[in-house]
Amino acid sequence: MPALLRLDSSADLTSSTSRQLTGVFADTWRGLGPRHSVIERDLHVSPLPHLPDAALHYARRLRTEDERPDPSAEQLQDELLAELEAADAVVIGAPMYNWSIPSTLKAWLDHVHVLGTTVPYDTKDQPLAGKPVVVISSRGLEYGPGTPDADKDHTIPPIVQILGTSMGMDVTIVTADLTAVRRVPAMARLAGRAQASLEAATDRVRSLAVQLNT
């Protein structure tokens, strides 16, 4: 049964571009057939705690004797890991917040990036290697290759480093630029480019949802 895990982290519950795009991805996924399921985790509406104990960054066998994290914190981490493990694919809404990722999404990453469990440490195990993850990054301005602020995007690089390089997942990035046109009058002349960016992102997420099932 092809299962999708959908994660949202935008604090905007009314007009979020990343939520719109993760929604298109999830709807396309569901539309592929009755066996296609979607698990939704809203990291803004139901935020995870910040990682409460550094010991949770390590597999149980790698902890020192005095490290005894709260069992309820271990249980939550186990649930998040099981949810990720069970998914055949993941779609993540990752808006740019202050050139970086929302703290709610960072909390999820801190829970699932675990040395010796999801990341090779004392062994070469990388259990999530190859699992597809589509990251949808919406941003008020533009940060694509060749734009003046391209080097200021600190949203996508850490996600690629954590999920891709370190955990071995197959990361695809989709961006939607210039979303601030709807609230900044001085950007009105960029409305066409913003619309083109959104349309391209919408087409891309639809085709990725299909492509991941072929």
Ligand X SMILES: Cc1cc2nc3c(=O)[nH]c(=O)nc-3n(C[C@H](O)[C@H](O)[C@H](O)COP(=O)(O)O)c2cc1C
Interacting residues with ligand X (CB under 6 A): 10, 12, 16-19, 93, 95-99, 138-141, 179-180
73, 105, 74, 72: which is closest to 90 by C-alpha?
A: 105
Q: How far is the CB of 12 from ligand X (least distance, A)?
A: 4
3-state secondary structure of 213: coil
Q: How far is the CB of 3 from ligand X (least distance, A)?
A: 24
3-state secondary structure 27-65: HHHHCCCCCCEEEEEECCCCCCCCCCCHHHHECHHHCCC
Q: How far is the CB of 113 from ligand X (least distance, A)?
A: 23
Q: How far is the CB of 202 from ligand X (least distance, A)?
A: 13
Residues 7/93, Cβ–Cβ less than 8 Å: yes
Instruction: Give the nearer residue to ligand X in terms of CB position, either 119 or 205.
Output: 205
CA distances in angstroms from 143 to 67, 134, 178, 200, listed in the order given: 42, 18, 9, 16
CA 107 to chain centre: 11
Report the Cα–Cα distance between both ends of the chain, in Å, rounded: 14
Interacting residues of 201 by C-beta distance below 8 A, sequence separation 6+: 21, 136, 174, 175, 176
Instruction: Give the nearer residue to ligand X in terms of CB position, either 42 or 125.
Output: 42
Instruction: Give the nearer residue to ligand X in terms of CB position, either 15 or 211.
Output: 15
Q: How far is the CB of 148 from ligand X (least distance, A)?
A: 12
Cα dihedral 107, 110, 178, 202, rounded to 10, equals -100
Instruction: Give the nearer residue to ligand X in terms of CB position, either 12 or 88.
Output: 12
Q: How far is the CB of 150 from ligand X (least distance, A)?
A: 12
Instruction: Give the nearer residue to ligand X in terms of CB position, either 19 or 57.
Output: 19
Instruction: Give the nearer residue to ligand X in terms of CB position, either 51 or 198.
Output: 198
